[in-house]
Every structure is written in C-alpha cells, then in structure tokens.
Structure 1
C-alpha cells in the first residue's frame, strides 16, 4: 500500500509511462539538458526534473550524466532516440483533427537522408526556406548508407524522409517525384575526349569516377543504365565524398557521368567542362520517400512540402555555363 503522505518526488517515481513523459524524454534526448528540455516544452524546470527522475526509475538508467561541466546522454539514452521518435509519430496519428502545424512556433527535428550528388545550392535553399519559416526547428542531413538501410530507418523513425534515385521501393513507402536530371559527362579542360564529339566507344574506353555502390558488388544506378545500353566501363575510382570530385577530375583524365545540376557545380568549382552524354540514356529521377506511418504527421507533411518546393525552384533555375 502506498504511503498517503508520499512526497511528490516519490509519487513521480511511481508513475507509469505516459505521453507527457514520452514528450519529456524526447526533449531531453534532443537537448541533453533539463533547462533546455524545459525551454523546448514550455514547462517549468522543476517539472522536467521530476519527469527525469520518473524516467530514470522506469528505464533503470540515469539517461543524463555529467561529464566535466556539461551533461551528456548515456548509451541507453542514445539508443532510445529512434523508438521515442517513432512513438511520437504514431501518437500524432491520434491527433489528426488537431490544429494545423505552425512552423513559426514549432520546436522539433527533421532528419533527411540523401545523396550528395544534388548540388550544394539545393541544400542551402532548403535550409534557408525551413529556418526562415521555422526558426526553432533543427535540421539533420545525413547519408543514405549501404544496403538500403534507409528503408528500415524510415519505418523505425530514425529518419523522416529520404531522397533516392532507385526506382524500386517497398510497398509500405510513399514517394513523390522531385527532379529529373539529364546525364552529362564532366572532365578536365583539355581532356583528350573533350576536343571532339564524344562517342560511346571512347566513353567506354575511358577511366571513370563513380559513386559508391549501395549494395557492394551490385553496381550503381549508372551501372544499371549502362547495362541497358549493352556496355560497361572501367571504374578507376569510387567515392562517397563527391566534394572531392572536382579536384580529382581537374588533376586526372577521369570521366564522371552525373546529372547536369551537379555538373554545373563541378564546372564552377574547378573549371571543368561538360560534354553531352554519348548515347540516349534515361535521366536521373530523384524521388522523396517516406513511410506510411508518418504520412499524416502534420509537421513532417510541412517539411516534405518544403523539400518539394525547393526541388521545384532548383529545376527552374538556369544552369550557368562555364567561362
């Protein structure tokens, strides 16, 4: 039997996990600070401290520990990030009739998994649009990783949306087109293949720069498209860091086939040249994908609309030719 004279702290420690505790835990995981979580939720700091004591009792873990003059998350707390995000996303489905999402006062985090072979200005414009409309949100932009892990991460709430060029998608994912980007070849100015119209045979005999394979040994989207043409190439260098591509191309005879949008950025960065692709080939088709379970989340729907608007603006932006 509980002691009727139990203190608020004891009562708080005995409480069950409920929505308010989950929201407090989410804020603590984002802020790694009691005061920061209180400010994020608009709740008095003593209440957050009581919630933290209850969460520590429920999880059997301190969650936040002091290291030097700051607080850091424990390993257990770090492991709770994705489950807590998933629970909150599912809870949002119960509030579908609630007030519309207001970005001006929202405090949340958006996590996007994507390639870096969209040009920098796409991400710069996305950040500008989102931070101007929603100054209190946090944006995380991360890589897709190998073996299509992002499909699983979407389902587990670890990421909110992904940008992909692979046409095949699991049935539980939703998708919308973002951009169709024609393939071109990029090479250094003065490259032996830049002087005359590039032929498919000469293209195939060249040494190539390419991105990493998402599934090692199974090739890239470009490899699949070349296979449809009945050809293959010698890939001399593969990298996941396309920020290195401009300098690599400028100092070698490598050839890089990529979308015209990224090609324009590489030309501007290193004085490279763009050469038309030597055969009819399907364009790169970028799509945004998200999980069915988060489809009705109003905050994520707003973020997805900003992604679409950013892509539309980029599509309509003229490509500046190299000097």
Structure 2
C-alpha cells in the first residue's frame, strides 16, 4: 500500500545530500545491508534513511519478492534522476575546485564499440595510470537506438566515441580520428588477388558487419553504400570484434572497417587488407560529451588525453 507522502515543500527541504546518496545506494543495491556497506555506514543508519525516504517519497521503494528484495515501479523510475542529480551536485564542487590529478578519485566512463585499435585503449590506460593513479577507467558498449546519448544526459557515462554524425543540441563533440575504409579477407580468398575486388564483386560477396547499428537504418557504411547503389548481403552481424578474425580466416566473408583496425587484424591474425573498391568517405570517429560536463577539469584533461592517443595512432607507421 503506497505511503502518504509529505507535502512537496517539506519533502524538498528534507531531501538533503546524505539522503540522496542513501537513495542512490538503495536503488543500486536493492538491499539495506548492501547499500550500507557501499556507503560505509551502519545498517541501522541505512534503515533509518530508508524509513525517511519512504515517508518523503510516499512509496515503499524496496519490497520483498520471494527471498530477495526488489525495487518498486516508482523506485525504478527514480534510478536515472537520482544518479543525474548527484552527478550535477558533484560538478558544482569540481568546477570550483580543480583537484590535482594525482589526488583525484573517480571513475572515467567511456561508451564505445571496440572498433578502435587496441593500442588506442592501451595508451589511454597508460596515461591515466601515470597521471591520475587513483582513478579507474570503465569502457562499456554503446546501446541501440542512440541509448548512449541518454546515458550522457543521465550521467551514466562521461564520454562517447561514435561514428554517427547526428547529435542532439545539448551535446558537444570534436573530431577524434579519420581513416580510410578497407576490406579484410583471409589469405587465398578469391577476392584477395590484385584487381579481383571490384564494386560488383564486393556487392556479390557475403559480408561480416560490426559497426553501430540503428534499427531500420543499418550502419554508417550502409548509408554510404546506398549512395553507390550497393546493398550488402551480410551473413554475420556482431558487435564483438574479437570474433571477427577467426570467422574471416575460416570463411569467404568480407569485413569492411577502418585501416587501423584492419592493420591490427592483418598483423596479429595473418589476414589480408584490400583497398575499398570505390571512392568512399573515410571513417570519422567523434568524441561526444554532455554540455553540463564541458567545464569539468578532470574530464577536460581526459578529452585531451583521448585526442593525444588518437594523434599517436594517426601517425604510426603504415603496415
């Protein structure tokens, strides 16, 4: 049975930062003891906070389902706004006081697919470990239907690396890396011989695709191929690029990707790189962030480090 909430004005005044942090922990852990452990406070204190939150919000928030606790429907609705409010509160302080990087304790969260070469992420991890040793790096995948833009707005991620050109107005972006598109095949592939890969043979071939898909729109490459009057026959769709080399080495599939990743595949797995058989725009990687984090000192440093890692890749010797 829903609890009667306090009057709006009273609730707003009583919902201070400690209660918000307890609410976030309870919503994240779905349990009092786990939430207390997360914040490093006594379980009895967390139980008191839950009781206050239930009165303020007018909802049980946590209910027992079998032998476990679960979030109510109202509690699930509060997950994103609670996280966003706490993120905005932390920015108020971080903008005013720029802590030295070596003293900073936070997670840097980046959403991307693994279509960037491994050296890019290795260099980034090296830079963070050297200059901000108390921070950690979280690399997660991009969701479908531009879910990562919502994640930026909700404070779930700090930065996004994407190849899609469209951006909502509240987001900022900068170019990270441009590279030509090439095709990757197994040695001995019928199309690996000089001159064998034409636009016609490319269209007749079967393909492996592994770029950011949007339902009803396909990939960024699909849009460019449509301009050339080409439609791919894709046999394997995957967002797990670690699978691609083994699949390519045992099939006659063709994989179209950026030159840098193709060079990694060729060097590490003995695959063959063939130039794309027509004039086509390069792959353009963009670094995207939310307007509200634009002046965050630590994230500005991270953006600069990402740009430096991209420049290092762009200038590495060609294979």
Compute the TM-score of the two structures, normalised by the length of structure 2.
0.80
**In 1, Cα distance between equivalents of 2:229 and 2:182:** 18
How far 1:87 moved relative to its partner? 1.5
| Aligned match for 2:89, one of 88, 91, 98 | 91
2:153 is aligned with 1:159: no
CA contact (8 A) 2:22 2:35 kept: no
Q: 1:134 to 1:243 in 2, by over 3 A?
A: same
**In 2, Cα distance between equivalents of 1:124 and 1:225:** 31
Gapped regions of structure 2 (runs ≥ 5): 1-12, 55-59
| Aligned match for 1:55, one of 49, 52, 58 | 49
2:209 is aligned with 1:210: yes
Deviations 1:53-101 (A, max 9, x none): 45323334798x9xxxxxx996579986643442133224534662213
SS at match of 2:298: helix
**In 2, Cα distance between equivalents of 1:186 and 1:97:** 46
- Larger CA deviation: 220-229 vs 121-130: 121-130
CA contact (8 A) 1:187 1:256 kept: yes
Q: 1:139 to 1:54 in 2, by over 3 A?
A: farther
Q: 1:238 to 1:123 in 2, by over 3 A?
A: same
- Larger CA deviation: 140-149 vs 77-86: 77-86
**In 2, Cα distance between equivalents of 1:73 and 1:304:** 40
CA contact (8 A) 1:89 1:297 kept: no
CA contact (8 A) 1:174 1:289 kept: yes
Q: Which residue pairs with 1:245 in the alignment?
A: 244
**In 1, Cα distance between equivalents of 2:116 and 2:76:** 30
Deviations 1:255-285 (A, max 9, x none): 1110001101111232001111111110110
Q: Which residue pairs with 1:171 in the alignment?
A: 169
1:213-292 matches, cutoff 5 A: 214-292=213-291
| Aligned match for 1:127, one of 121, 125, 128 | 125
Q: 1:79 to 1:271 in 2, by over 3 A?
A: farther
| Aligned match for 1:183, one of 164, 168, 181 | 181
Q: Which residue pairs with 2:9 in the alignment?
A: none
**In 2, Cα distance between equivalents of 1:183 and 1:165:** 13
1:20-59 matches, cutoff 5 A: 20-22=18-20, 37-38=39-40, 50=45, 52-59=46-53
How far 1:17 moved relative to its partner? 2.8
**In 2, Cα distance between equivalents of 1:105 and 1:73:** 37
Gapped regions of structure 1 (runs ≥ 5): 1-14, 39-44, 66-71
Q: 1:79 to 1:259 in 2, by over 3 A?
A: same
